[in-house]
Amino acid sequence: MSLLNISSPHATRSGNTGNVMLTVLLALIPGIITLSYFFGPGHLIQVCIASATAVGCEALILHLRKKPIAFYLKDYSALLTAVLLAISLPPYAPYWVTMVATLFAIIIAKHLYGGLGQNPFNPAMVGFALVLVSFPVEMTTSWSAPFALLETGIGFGQAVQIIFSSRETIDAITMATPLDLYKNQVEIATASEIYQSPLFNGPNNEASIALGWQWVNLAFLLGGAFLLWKKIFTWHVPVSLLVSLSLLSIFIGWDSDSYVPISLHLFAGATMLGAFFIATDPVTASTTPLGKLIYGAGIGALIYIIRTWGSYPDAVAFAVLLMNFAAPLIDQYSQPRTYGHKKAVRGLAKKD
């Protein structure tokens, strides 16, 4: 009998990092289904392109770094980055845009910083930001209109064709996003005039917020709620993000004739995806309870500021990246009060 000699604790909960990542991937499914239902198979194809690129890049870098490839691939972090990136990109962006973004996300934003857990910036958003500033045309003209507004939908074959070769037919299906449309028109038109566009209330003019997008956002909200219930992350970041975005929309943008209204801010862009799946990336977020509140609120505020006064159609990526910069500092100044202590330690350790 040889007895194992090891120090406590001896009991551990089963599971590993891979389970966490798979749970998040599972929670993305309703959102991806909704996206495909309203906007065609574009996102599904992008998910495939990004996943293949990400896993390939990850394996290559692991090989170069002389790490066990299978062991690290099984944490599924590269796959999650790929899926998040793919559903953030316009569904009919050319394949090489997706590949460049993924390549950059995995190799530069993740592995050059030391791999999983070491990257200061959200890899998916780094990839997204890179292609957004590098290929603005492809990134703004590849959003499709909701299929309800098109005479014919897009079949799988046509989608593949648009993404991989010919972009001649794309003009027939693309349209500005509702958030973009509202922002561009609010300077010259009133709210009721803007809402004439079927992009908001659909071809049959039934009351809704933003055709298709509202359901997409609700689906991501549902997935986020599932993750909260599974205790994958805490409520702090998503709630403070949504609250700060809502408060600014109410106090600054209360006049929908001059500003984008709160309903569109919450349900027309990438808000819910950002709040529950991007901003909550634990590696790059703040880690203390108070810090998470500040971090989330900061992202919410930056989303509002960039959407309102910036020139980009959506703002989740830049808002998240900017707060990634601040996260380590926030952590230093938001430590909780330890048991038995009168007050919390704030700031850096003092040198003797």
Partner 1 sequence: MNMHHFKLYDFDGGIHPTQNKSQSTQLPINTAKIPSKLILPIAQHIGAPGNPIVKTGDSVLKGQIIARGEDFVSCNLHAPTSGIVGEIKAQEVPHQSGISDICIEIMTDGKDAWVDHQGLDNYLEADAAGLIDCIAQAGISGMGGAGFPTHVKASIPASKINTLIINAAECEPYITSDDLLMREYAMEIIKGIEILQRILLPEQCYIGIEDNKPQAIEALQKALKENLDDTHNIHVVVIPTKYPSGGEKQLIQILTGKEVPVAGIPADIGIVCQNVGTVHAIYQAVALGIPLISRITTITGDAVSSPQNYQVLLGTPVSDVLAQANAQQDKIKRLIMGGPMMGFTISSTDIPITKTSNCIIAASDQELPDPAMEQACIRCGMCTQACPAQLLPQQLYWFAKSSNLEQAQAHNISDCIECGACSYVCPSNIPLVQYYRFAKGEIKQAKNDKKSSEQAKLRFDTRNARLDREAAEKDAKRKARAEAAAKKQATKKAAPPASPTDAEATGAPTVDIDLLKQKVLAAQTRVDKAKERLAMAKEQNLETADALELGLNKQIDKLTAAQKSLEEANS
Tokens 């495909």, residue? 36
Q: Which of 169, 196, 234, 258 binds partner 1 (CB under 8 A)?
A: 234
How far is C-alpha 340 from the geometric centre of its chain's CA atoms? 39
115 binds partner 1 (CB under 8 A): yes
Residue with Cβ nearer partner 1 (114 or 203): 114
- Which 268-287 residues touch partner 1, going by CB under 8 A? 282-283, 285, 287
Rounded distance between C-alpha atoms, residue 248 and residue 13, angstroms: 42
Closest to 235 (Cα-Cα) out of 166, 289, 181: 289
State the Rg of the chain over Cα. 22
180 binds partner 1 (CB under 8 A): no
Residue with Cβ nearer partner 1 (118 or 166): 118
How far is C-alpha 13 from the geometric centre of its chain's CA atoms? 29
Closest to 304 (Cα-Cα) out of 274, 255, 275, 265: 265
x/- site string to partner 1, residues 292 to 331, per CB under 8 A? Answer: ---------------------------------------x
Tell me if 36 sits within 8 A of 159, measured CB to CB: no
288 binds partner 1 (CB under 8 A): yes
Rounded distance between C-alpha atoms, residue 351 and residue 241, angstroms: 35
Minimum gap (Å) between residue 271 Cβ and partner 1: 23
In the chain, the amino acid numbered 62 is L
How many residues at the interface with partner 1, by CB under 8 A? 48
Max Cα–Cα distance, the chain, nearest Å: 83
Q: Which of 6, 137, 188, 207 binds partner 1 (CB under 8 A)?
A: 6
Residue with Cβ nearer partner 1 (4 or 188): 4
231 binds partner 1 (CB under 8 A): yes
Residues that bind partner 1 (CB under 8 A): 1, 3-13, 15-17, 19-20, 71, 75, 77, 115-118, 231-234, 282-283, 285, 287-289, 331, 335-342, 345, 348-351
